Amino acid sequence: MKRFFYIVMAAVILAGVLATNVQAQSGSSLLIVANIPFTFNVGKISLPAGKYTITVLNPTSDRRILQIRSTNGRSSAMILTSGVIGEISENSKLVFERDGDRYYFAQAQMAGDSTSLAAPRVKTAATAKPSLGTVARKVRSW
């Protein structure tokens, strides 16, 4: 009876070790480490310049969530992205949009992947169109 218990226990431990290795290997390709030399926004959150890790939190979803976190753990943000099909990239890439002296996180592409993860566009003063309420107030002021 003890021998049967030890065989089952060894099989469970072996399965656990193998599952941990598979998870570690699949997760390593969904991580970017970058030194960003400027302050930037992720959505409405402003993050200071520094070294960051960008991680895909739900790699099997079609709407992936990116976590952007400083390596010192003091600053972080998460953003829901949508996939944009393009060409396969040999290197990981981060794309930022600039509006004056402000930078906005726009896209991330993992090495070896043809899909870029695009963040929703942020309305800035330069790109914002007047809303119907603004137009109506202007018309009334005449």
Whether 21 is in a domain gets the answer no
pLDDT single digits (tens) 56-76 = 998 888 789 999 999 999 999
Whose tokens are 């998460």? That residue is 78
Structure tokens at 109: 């592409």
Whether 37 is in a domain gets the answer yes
Query: What is the distance between the alpha carbons of residues 49 and 38, in angstroms, rounded to a whole number?
Result: 4
Whether 109 is in a domain gets the answer yes
- The answer, yes or no, to whether residue 94 has pLDDT greater than 80, is yes
Whether 7 is in a domain gets the answer no
pLDDT at residue 127 in the model: 52
pTM: 0.64
Whether 97 is in a domain gets the answer yes
Q: Give the chain's domain count.
A: 1
Whether 95 is in a domain gets the answer yes
Range of the domain at 88: 31-140
**Residue 53 neighbours by CB under 8 Å, 6+ apart:** 31, 32, 33, 67, 68, 69, 71
Whether 116 is in a domain gets the answer yes
Whether 8 is in a domain gets the answer no
